[in-house]
Structure 1
Amino acid sequence: MKKGWQRYHTIWTMLFLGWFVSYIDRTATGPIITWMIDNKVSFFSDVPNPHEFGGLIGSLFFAGFMLIQFPAGFLGDKFGYRPVIILCILWSGVATLLTGLTGGLVMFVLLRILLGLGEGVLYSNDRSYIVFNTPAEKVGLGMGVVITGLSVGLTAATIGTPLLLKLAQPVMGKESWRFPFFLLGVISLLVLLLMFKYMRPSPERINSAKPESPGIKEYYGRALIQLCLYSAVFLAIIMGIYFACTQLNFSGVAIAFILTALTPLLILYLYKTKKSDVHPVLMNRNLIFLYLSAIAIMWHLWFYGFWSVAIVKEFGGGALIGAALVASFNGIAGIIGFPLGGVISDRVAHKLNGRRNVLALLTGILTITIFGFAMYLQMGNRHLVVMSVILFVSGLFFFALQPVAHALTAEIAPEGKHGTAFGMWNLIAEIGAVLSPVVSGFLRDSTDSWGAPLYLDGALMGISCLLILAISAHSVPIPFRKKGALPIK
């Protein structure tokens, strides 16, 4: 094994930056909406259930994000992982910039959905590009290091967005909510230039790969056309549901559940029209358990990612900036948790059920910390240092489990179907992201407390742990498996 800095390290770095800008663009929405609710500005000036309505905006973003997941993996396998990743960051930067220019609720919602449709193509292609470029014994580490960008972006947006709002307020007043979108959009486009220049496979990897390998394909134009076509269809569906439900006076929660119903319909459609592509990654019990267990992961991520500042603020976190600092400890934990989880994942990969057992253990401990945090707050405790410590410890286990889940998905999925498998994983997982912001906001408005949403979060994570334990493994050590999915006992 070569020592020193290798080309795959550069690719890890570029993908890290991709996750960073992807998460600052999407995470900023939560603190901005919290600020708009507190200051009763723009379309939050007279909303009767502001947290439910704000959560609905987040859910509409994730509806687009959810629906594009499987097509994203399919597009990457067909046109190349790198082009789709580059288009994702370009799309993200432009959509974020335009959000700052929007003049009303409809355009704000439309651009948030478009952002979700663009950013949704990152996950399946990023994971697949790591597998292609990284030595097999370092795949878990690579996934952990790269996705640390999620944690850094989440933390930067959680802390930085309130600071940007405060900085802009003397000049922009009630229009200050626009400023973070302007700045973050520019940052995304700058990162795009770096990724386009430096994120290429090594010459050795290119020469050793088959010409049809998605790791070296570069069909930008075709990928963009297909991405636009899929996005146009999904945008029309989501906006149509939103307008129809609004006219019928449906609640935000009802709209979110209707949107999640699109997932099984999309899976059925894909199975009917692309059976040869879908069958290997869908008719596998182990993968199905992984997909379903991931719903709780996305629920937790975007319950905290969207509402953590509001939760801490309500339970004694003080002003918006102070609450953001406390809430940020959950995201900061990912800087350690992501790579640590990747290292642990690689070290247990040779053992029977190694990754499965580690994933179940981490998920179980996370469940305990969630309930512990909920009980601490419900008992009336308000110590900010203790809250910060609990959020950090909880985040450590939460972020550590994700690269383990990703590596487990990669080793179970058939060869040549990694993009498709990761796309299906995130398609189903995003059901949690769609429901989490609006259901949690609804429970907050209904009970006048964040206690019920916290307990629900813990219960879902406990169910996820049970699903992971249902995964079975073949007796042959996983690293030596040549091809195909794991047999089922």
Structure 2
Amino acid sequence: MKKTRPALTIFLFFLGWVFMYADRNILSPVMGSIGEEWSLNQTQLGLMSTVFFAAYAFMQIPTGILADKFGRVKVLVIGFIVFGIGTYLSGASATFGIFLMMRALTGLGEGTYYGSQYGISSTITPKKYRGLVSAIINSGMAFGISLGFMSSSYFTYTLNKGWQFPFYVFAIPTIIVGILIAIFVRDNSHKEKKQNVQTTEKVELKKIFTKNHIFVYILIFCSLYGFFGMLTWLPYYLQTARDIEASQTGIISSLVPWASIPGAILFGFLSDRIKSRKPLIIGLALAGALCQFIIPYTENYSFLIVGLCLYGLLGKLALDPVLISYMADITPQSMYSRVYGFFNFSGMLSSIFAPYITGYFADKTGSLEFGFYLAGGLLIIGALLFLFTTDKNQASSNSVQPVSLKREEKLV
């Protein structure tokens, strides 16, 4: 049987996130063109993202269960190819109703990636490198955000190819990446798990709902609430509230993902070198909250740019790899896909609520500033709750291993 090549696996998972986030963000620049073609109002335009994220969030928990039972690679690859097909069919949609169905299909396909991918990468990565490896894989999100924004605008408005063209372009390499993962990535954890007795599995299931796990689920929800609120409304906010030209808002908004790349790698590296990740997690959460307050509060353009860069450097994309490594520390290896499914489900719930709630309060108050302050307040709450986590589960959970793994250790 072929062995997994860690470096190649990490690179393919990085590419997976590039195309996942590129697909999500090719929609934003062309929403106006889609709205004009089908005579849509703003509520209907917002529904395009809501349908996608609802389907994506829905898949998190069943994906983790299926991946642990039938194989992480198999579930990931099937979903990724469905994701590529859904992206292509989104561009080929003739009506708004069909387009919504294709966005839902795309969300269902993408929904198989998170738990399966981080389950595999956490398994093949030594504990002392988990933070750094997670940060490298996660950096694909930043590349994908910028790639989606810039390429969609370029193909649609500079080359006049039509809003459908970006969907066609990204669908092809997406399917290719899925096939490459199927060929080169190996994972046999589900076979090892089947050798365990059923009672052991029931005991392990409780280990992903400890006090530590629950506080992490809350914190990731708070972190992603601000991130998706900003991702959705930042270009509009810069244009309407800060009087910045529409042609510049995409470039300025891209400062957040680009600044996140060195931040994520730096803090991922640091998290592998410190005894406890807890102070770093709390510090990053509070720093992200402070940036959420600074961005709407400052009236100075230079301070606004600094605030956006700092949010990229210290915010959600920097916090993610540290939390992912922390989850691996407190969870039995046989439960990785399942716990990352719940982890991402908790975070992605915010993607359904954040854009709508931010818009709702903007209608009520006449400005978008309250949405930023609310996001900052939630992050502070999440950080305070995380103070009550303990290190006890870390030692006990990692001591729980599949029976087959214990046998292998004895043989060695």
Q: Deviations over 1:386-444 (max 9, x none)?
A: 43332111111112211111111111123311111111111222221110122223333
Q: Deviations over 1:22-75 (max 9, x none)?
A: 111112222322x348xx5134x352xx1x443333122111111110111111
Deviation for aligned residue 1:305: 2.3
Do the aligned residues in 2 keep the contact of 1:158 with 1:309 (CA within 8 Å)? Answer: no
| Equivalent of residue 326 in structure 1, options 252, 262, 273 | 252
The answer to whether 1:148 aligns with 2:134 is: no
| Equivalent of residue 123 in structure 2, options 107, 123, 132 | 132
Supply the RMSD in Å over aligned alpha carbons: 2.6
| Equivalent of residue 460 in structure 1, options 374, 378, 381 | 378
Change (3 A) 1:108 1:214: farther
Structure 2 residues not aligned, in runs of 5+:
195-200, 402-412
| Equivalent of residue 322 in structure 2, options 382, 404, 428 | 404
| Equivalent of residue 282 in structure 2, options 348, 360, 378 | 360
Do the aligned residues in 2 keep the contact of 1:144 with 1:403 (CA within 8 Å)? Answer: yes
Do the aligned residues in 2 keep the contact of 1:80 with 1:214 (CA within 8 Å)? Answer: no
3-state secondary structure, aligned to 1:212: helix
Do the aligned residues in 1 keep the contact of 2:29 with 2:149 (CA within 8 Å)? Answer: yes
Scaled by the length of structure 2, the TM-score of the pair is: 0.87
Change (3 A) 1:187 1:388: farther
Alignment of 1:301-316 (within 5 A): 301-316=227-242
Do the aligned residues in 1 keep the contact of 2:71 with 2:190 (CA within 8 Å)? Answer: no
Q: Deviations over 1:267-318 (max 9, x none)?
A: xxxxxxx966743322x11111111111112212211222222222224464
Change (3 A) 1:103 1:447: farther
Aligned counterparts of 1:119 and 1:125: Cα–Cα separation in 2: 11
| Equivalent of residue 12 in structure 1, options 10, 14, 27 | 10
Alignment of 1:379-418 (within 5 A): 379=299, 381=300, 383=301, 386-398=303-315, 399-418=317-336
Alignment of 1:411-426 (within 5 A): 411-426=329-344
Scaled by the length of structure 1, the TM-score of the pair is: 0.74
Change (3 A) 1:432 1:146: same
Aligned counterparts of 1:91 and 1:46: Cα–Cα separation in 2: 27
Do the aligned residues in 1 keep the contact of 2:331 with 2:397 (CA within 8 Å)? Answer: no
Q: Output the amino acid matched with 2:371.
A: P
1:185 maps to 171
Change (3 A) 1:13 1:446: same
Aligned counterparts of 2:189 and 2:68: Cα–Cα separation in 1: 13
Q: Output the amino acid matched with 1:164.
A: F
Change (3 A) 1:317 1:93: farther
Deviation for aligned residue 1:214: 7.1
Aligned counterparts of 1:328 and 1:165: Cα–Cα separation in 2: 18
Aligned counterparts of 1:302 and 1:189: Cα–Cα separation in 2: 26
Q: Output the amino acid matched with 1:303.
A: G
Do the aligned residues in 2 keep the contact of 1:162 with 1:324 (CA within 8 Å)? Answer: no
Aligned identity (percent) is: 25
The answer to whether 1:41 aligns with 2:36 is: yes
Paired residues in the alignment total 391
The answer to whether 1:338 aligns with 2:264 is: yes
2:407 maps to none
Change (3 A) 1:91 1:276: farther
Change (3 A) 1:276 1:62: farther
